[in-house]
Amino acid sequence: MSPHLERETERENGSGAMTEDSGTTTGGRGPRLLRGKRGAALAGLLVGALLGAGTVAWRTDTLPLVPRELCWGTLSEDVAFGMFSREGRLEARELPLEHARGNDARVRGECRITRIEDDERRWEVTATVRDLDELHGLDMREWPDAFLSPRMAPLGGEITGMVSPNRAWAALPKGCLSSSGNAHAPRVVDVSAGVEWIERDDDESRRAALARTVVHMVNGLMEKYGCSGRYAEPGDLAPLAETRDAGLDELCGVKGMRLPAADRPGKKSEYSYRERVTPGSGEGVRACDIGMRTERPDIRFMTIEDPDLAQIFMTRAFKGGGEPLKGDGYGRVGGDLSVYTTRCQTGDVVFVVRAFDSRAVDWSRRLLPAYVKSEAKRIGCGDVTVAAK
């Protein structure tokens, strides 16, 4: 028995059975754990209700008949504990794999792991298995906002995925779920903990633990789906990108891409624009955020080289609001999301401008052509032109 399991057993032997309300929390101080005979009786009722509703919940050593592997058997206790401090114990709840959440058929399963210390919730991690949507455009905004951010760095190696101190995601290999050679949006595992833009002192250890967790989960799912091959443990991760002063005549390092004169801060202004760019070559995804605020940029530029991941933006490229674009590809510009797609040697590539601020909607129209032209050359697509129809 591991030390943290021994501590839990000793505490329970000394104070009676412990359980907690079956409601799910997303962080902060959770409900107090119940003690004594009343708690033990309620524990049985709650466990029965959770299992009957298709949710599995357990605490180590309190439900000995439930396997200790967390999240559909994809995570060992040791890997899961790596995401937290080693104090306290873990509690996990999972939505059965392939059991869609409500009417959202994209969600294949969800698992929440919570660290309990001193009878209180200290930190929670949520892992979701989902099919990214390419038919209706449902994953063009919210998922990329959180998981394609330049606050993240590529996992590296053969893995399509990224990681930050609070987020990680990885795609299952295309051949695992489909024999078709055509591009299609991937099935991914994503892991979230805390607030995206709050960076912690233990960034590197937490980031390494999240990377290891998401890779173990993908490998576990590949085994469950009967797929051959496994990903190796993540190696040394690329350093996280630093925020720097934006070059107002070369935003995101692109010559000729500049903000309109009216939106530039004056020489005596105490405010300045800052930018952050995905570290390294991007390895399938490169993003650049520009803005004055720490928590959310005014505008984000993205280059998606991975042909499968590019599919989640295709609906916007061919239909929807905004003005149609032509040239060496297709797209639309306007509103909070502008997309242009063209064909390169590796397949479909998309260039995306996401406007988070109302002022940035006009910036998208001005800056998208220069961004596409520069990025297309950088990734080896040659000269790509963009023009309004």
User: Which 3 state secondary structure label does DSSP give 2?
Assistant: coil
Question: Considering only 126-140, 186-200, 242-256, 315-329, which range has the smallest mean pLDDT?
Answer: 186-200
182 CB contacts (<8 Å, ≥6 apart)?
A: none
Rounded Cα gap, residues 53 and 74, in angstroms: 21
| Residue 278, pLDDT above cutoff 80 | yes
- According to the model, what pLDDT value does residue 144 have? 96
> Bridge-partner residues for 245, per DSSP?
274
| Residue 195, pLDDT above cutoff 80 | no
Question: Are the CB atoms for 296 and 314 separated by under 8 Å?
Answer: no
Question: Are the CB atoms for 259 and 273 separated by under 8 Å?
Answer: yes
Task: State the pLDDT confidence band at 69, using cuts at 50, 70 and 90.
Answer: confident
Task: State the pLDDT confidence band at 279, using cuts at 50, 70 and 90.
Answer: confident
Task: For 324-371, give the DSSP string.
Answer: EEEESSEEEE-TTEEEEEEEETTEEEEEEEEE-STTHHHHHHHHHHHH
Place of tokens 């001193």: 118
Angle, alpha carbons 110-168-120 (nearest 5°): 60
Rounded Cα gap, residues 292 and 290, in angstroms: 7
Task: State the pLDDT confidence band at 40, using cuts at 50, 70 and 90.
Answer: very low
Give the H/E segment covering residue 123: strand 120-131
| Residue 337, pLDDT above cutoff 50 | yes
Place of tokens 């496994």: 230
- According to the model, what pLDDT value does residue 199 have? 61
Question: Considering only 145-149, 195-199, 272-276, 338-342, which range has the smallest mean pLDDT?
Answer: 195-199
- According to the model, what pLDDT value does residue 215 have? 97
**What is the bridge-based pairing of β-strands 161-163 and 153-154?**
antiparallel
| Residue 287, pLDDT above cutoff 70 | yes
Whole-model pTM: value is: 0.80
- The per-residue pLDDT for range 344-384, each reduced to its tens digit, is 988 999 999 999 998 888 899 999 999 999 999 999 999 99
Task: State the pLDDT confidence band at 39, using cuts at 50, 70 and 90.
Answer: very low
CB pairs under 8 A, 24+ apart, for 16-20? 16/40, 17/43, 17/62, 18/43, 18/59, 18/62, 18/119, 19/43, 19/46, 19/59, 19/62, 20/91, 20/116
**How many other CB atoms are found less than 10 A from the CB of residue 198?**
10
- According to the model, what pLDDT value does residue 96 have? 83
- The per-residue pLDDT for range 143-185, each reduced to its tens digit, is 999 999 999 999 988 899 999 999 999 999 988 877 677 888 9
Task: State the pLDDT confidence band at 77, using cuts at 50, 70 and 90.
Answer: confident
| Residue 322, pLDDT above cutoff 70 | yes
CB pairs under 8 A, 24+ apart, for 32-37? 32/119, 32/120, 33/116, 33/119, 33/120
44 CB contacts (<8 Å, ≥6 apart)?
A: none
Question: Considering only 54-68, 191-205, 228-242, 270-284, which range has the smallest mean pLDDT?
Answer: 54-68
- What rounded mean pLDDT belongs to the chain? 78
368 CB contacts (<8 Å, ≥6 apart)?
A: 325, 333, 338, 340, 351, 353, 386
- According to the model, what pLDDT value does residue 197 have? 63
Task: State the pLDDT confidence band at 101, using cuts at 50, 70 and 90.
Answer: low
Give the rounded percent of residues in the chain with a pLDDT score beyond 70. 76
| Residue 26, pLDDT above cutoff 50 | no
Question: Considering only 63-67, 133-137, 256-260, 330-334, which range has the smallest mean pLDDT?
Answer: 63-67
- According to the model, what pLDDT value does residue 185 have? 92
Question: Are the CB atoms for 355 and 361 separated by under 8 Å?
Answer: yes
Task: State the pLDDT confidence band at 21, using cuts at 50, 70 and 90.
Answer: very low
